[in-house]
Structure 1
Amino acid sequence: MTHAITRRLFALSALALAAAGAQAQQWPTKPLRIVVPYPPGGSSDIIARAISQPLGEALKTTVIIENKPGANGNTGTDSVAKSNDGHTLLLCDVGALAITASVYNRLPFNPSKDLKGVTMLAYSPHLLVVHPSVQAGNLKELVALSQKQKMDFAVTAIGSAPHVAGVAIEKATGAKWEYIPYKGGSQAINDTVAGQAHVLMNGMLATLPFVQSGQLKVLGVSKATRVALLPNVPTIAEQGVKGFESGTWQGVLMPANTPPAVLNKVSAELTRIIRTPEVRQRLSGQGAEVHTMTPAEFTTFFERERANWAKVVAQGGVKIE
């Protein structure tokens, strides 16, 4: 009797695996939506547009990019977390997503429970930049200047990774910033270029072109080591903020109810696409490094990031009702 039951359980398991495999092979059955929870022009948007066409070609479907900003990225993220169509992806700054649980007292979704990681795509360090009119050539001079005059610090949003990183620098150096929140990186960049803000911290992918054109002046990079595209720019850690490192991690997530076979299928395709010479070179030319992960590795990374940022948020006292 026991052997019969065991054989039946094995048979049922085999059928379930076969069904899951068939489901993944048949998926997608309609166009895919990639939701970017920020306005056009930011780092996540740039990467979404780099991968959308090859992803559609690989999966033989149409891929639509939907910019859905609002509530510091939470509006678009919540829409994906609650999506039940099985064909909606979220492409966002994973670091910012990891911070939300620490800076918000209430969220309409649980980042760890309502979303599943598909793969990481790219990392770019933050650049600390200023409007060219700011009379500072390094972080020490900027800190001294901020103690003498009002200094507006543009951030992609209150509670975003660049904001929390700015708070960490402020606490470590004695700088005095007045944070000006925007609805995304592109708007924060544009206002700093226009001289409406003095200082900006933002992902290198979106910010580097403005440094190269002379519209912004870079004072530091938030990586542990200097970057090849800006070899003469010292790291923030080199300039006295010991151990400082931050950056923008772009990754793709899907709703928690997505079948594992589908997650693995999308992960494999995106990993292949982001590693192609054409896409890799396109991103590396703007300072983004390709980083891919399996869904399991993504989960481990996300929980580690959430724990690390929780400490920074607590030290900085950043909180949003």
Structure 2
Amino acid sequence: MLRRSFLALGAAALARPALAQAPWPAERSIRYIVPVAAGGSQDIVARLFARHLTTALGQNVVVENMPGAGSNIGYEHAAKAKPDGYTLLAGSDSLPINKALFPKLGFDPVADFAPVAQGVRVPQIFVVRADSPARSFEEFVALTRRQPVAVGTPGNGSLAHLLGEQIQSAVEVRWTHAPYRGGALAVNDLLGGSLQGVLINIGAVADHVKVGRLRGLFVSSAARTRALPDVPALGEVGFRGAEAVGWHGIVAPKGVDPAIVTRIHAAIGGILKQPEVAERVAALGLEPADAPPEALGALIRADAARWAEVVRRARIQPD
């Protein structure tokens, strides 16, 4: 009798921790690390997702900006977090790029994360001033062969920079690359005449193109965009297969429960269909991307290989 009592008590004690553990995400708030400063499109999208995920998941999703070192401060913090679903990261196309740019990091920007949701696609666009003699990208290439030109990007090692290097190699021209810390200054210098072109995310210049201050020569996506349907896609100007579109989405520390990944991915898919969110995304010049996590993982791996080759060939060094 006494032995049975001890066995019953032991079984109850073993069962207690499992019963006490609340189902995710009831235990506490979710940290959403954004590896860039507040104000840019990546931060805006992350805050939009955080607000709606709070409702969808029934738990506060709290944005925490951790900018610096080309996003690597925030990336490293997230990579080393416990993979329990309570730390998420606002991932982007800089993950595979940083793998190529920074070979001696204390973490792997690709291998140490689990893809969750691509979120939105971020097409790049090549723009010139409205009074530029180049009315097409072919004409811009011809202009580059006749005289020195400078093309601005949002930064050294950015997606725009790497795409520009790949295109220059393909057409065998060289322009002077003018990297800026963010896109606004590059656009201002283009408008002011200090630059002959800018390669940048479409949201930064869409309004300028719509009102006729700037002319778009191509967008970097496989098809034309809804934001600027009159601007040809990259394939239309002779670079089919070279498309390069950024993304602002969600990844998590490697090892997170697949059920949590599935739940967050489904929530983002629903959020992107909400009229308020769809309008905000479109206003930023972005496009919803509801690809499964496996597709995002494949994209990240492919881009890591692609940009490693561009970085090596162009001898790009991080700032």
Q: TM-score, normalised by structure 1?
A: 0.80
1:120 aligns with: 118
The whole-number CA distance in structure 2 between the counterparts of 1:109 and 1:183 is 25
Partner of 1:90: 89
Cα deviation for residue 158 of structure 1 reads 1.9
What is aligned with 1:164?
162
AA matched with 1:240: G
State the distance in 1 between where 2:34 and 2:196 align.
27
Partner residue in 1 for 2:219:
221
Deviation at 1:51, TM superposition (A): 1.9
User: In the TM superposition, what is the alpha-carbon distance from 1:231 to its structure 2 partner?
Assistant: 3.1
How far 1:189 moved relative to its partner?
A: 4.1
Please list every run of 5 or more consecutive structure 2 residues that lacks an aligned counterpart in the other structure: 1-14
**1:240-276 alpha-carbon deviations (Å, 9 max, x no partner):** 3343311112221112243333333322222221232
SS of residue matched to 2:123: strand
Percent sequence identity is 32
1:250-289 pair list within 5 angstroms = 250-289=248-287
- Per the alignment, in what secondary structure is the counterpart of residue 218 of structure 1? strand
Q: Flag structure 1 segments of 5+ consecutive residues without an equivalent.
A: 1-14
Which residue of structure 1 lines up, in the alignment, with residue 174 of structure 2?
176
Q: 1:239 to 1:111 in 2, by over 3 A?
A: same
How far, CA to CA, are the matches of 1:242 and 1:298 in structure 2?
21
3-state DSSP of counterpart to 1:113: coil
> What's the counterpart of residue 104 of structure 2?
106
- AA aligned to 2:31 is R
Aligned length: 302
- Larger Rg belongs to: 2
Q: SS of the counterpart of 1:112?
A: coil
Report the CA distance between 1:177 and its aligned residue.
Answer: 2.2
Gap change, CA 1:57 and 1:144, over 3 Å in 2: same
Specify whether residues 76 and 178 from structure 1 end up closer, same or farther in structure 2 by C-alpha distance, changes over 3 A only: farther
The 1:165–1:56 alpha-carbon spacing in structure 2 relative to 1, beyond 3 Å, is: same
Measured after TM superposition, the shift of residue 191 of structure 1 is 4.8
Structure 2 distance, partners of 1:51, 1:43, is: 12
Q: Which residue, out of 304, 307, 310, partners 2:308?
A: 310
The offset of 1:101, in angstroms, is 1.7
Aligned counterparts of 1:213 and 1:41: Cα–Cα separation in 2: 24
The root-mean-square deviation of aligned C-alpha atoms, in Å, is 3.1
Deviation string, structure 1 residues 95-148 (Cα, Å, up to 9, x no partner): 321122223332232022221111111113211112445442221222233344
Corresponding residue for 2:228? 230
Render the CA deviation track for 1:147-206: whole Å, top value 9, x for unaligned.
444433222232221111000111122332222333344554455455554422222234
- How far apart in 2 are the matches of 1:243 and 1:295? 23
Cα pair distance change 1:275/1:39, threshold 3 Å: same
The verdict on how the C-alpha distance between 1:70 and 1:180 changes in structure 2, with shifts beyond 3 A counting, is farther
Structure 1 residue 207: Cα displacement: 3.2
Residue of structure 2 in register with 1:73 after alignment: 71
Q: Which amino acid aligns with 2:62?
A: I
Q: 1:237 aligns to what SS in structure 2? A: helix
Residue range with higher mean Cα deviation, 135-144 or 118-127: 135-144
Deviations 1:50-73 (A, max 9, x none): 222111122333333333332222
Q: Look up the SS of the partner of 2:277 in the other structure.
A: helix
